[in-house]
Copies of this chain bind each other. A is one copy, B any other.
Amino acid sequence: MSGHHRQVGAASIDLFDALVTSGLSLKVAHAIDKLPQRSINIDSRRPFREPGSGGDEVYFVRSGILSKYWSGYGGRRQILDLRFPGESVWPDDFPDYGLQAIVKSEVIVLQKSVLETLLDEFPELAIFCMTAAQRFEAINHQWLVNCGSKGGTARVAHLLCETAFRSGNAYPTSRFSNPFTQQQIADITGQTNVNVNRVFRELEREGLIQRQGKDILVDDWTELKRVANFRADYLD
Contacts and interface: CB of A to CB of B under 8 A. Distances in A.
B127 A116 contact: yes
Nearest to A233: B94
Interface string A81-112: 10000000010111011000000000000000
A133 B131 contact: no
Interface stretch (A12-20, A33-41, A118-126): A118-126
A138 B92 contact: yes
Nearest to A70: B145
Given A80-B141, A92-B137, A130-B130, 8 more contacts: A72-B149, A76-B149, A90-B134, A93-B131, A93-B236, A140-B140, A143-B144, A147-B147
Interface residues on A, range: 35 or more
Interface in A8-34: none
A166 to B, nearest CB: 15
A147 B190 CA distance: 8
B134 A93 contact: yes
A137 B138 contact: no
Contact of A97 (B93, B123, B126, B141): B141
A115 to B, nearest CB: 11
A67 interface: no
Contact of A145 (B80, B90, B120, B150): B80
Nearest to A75: B149
Max count, chain B CB within 10 A of own CB: residue among A70, A77, A140, A234: A140
A144 B140 contact: yes
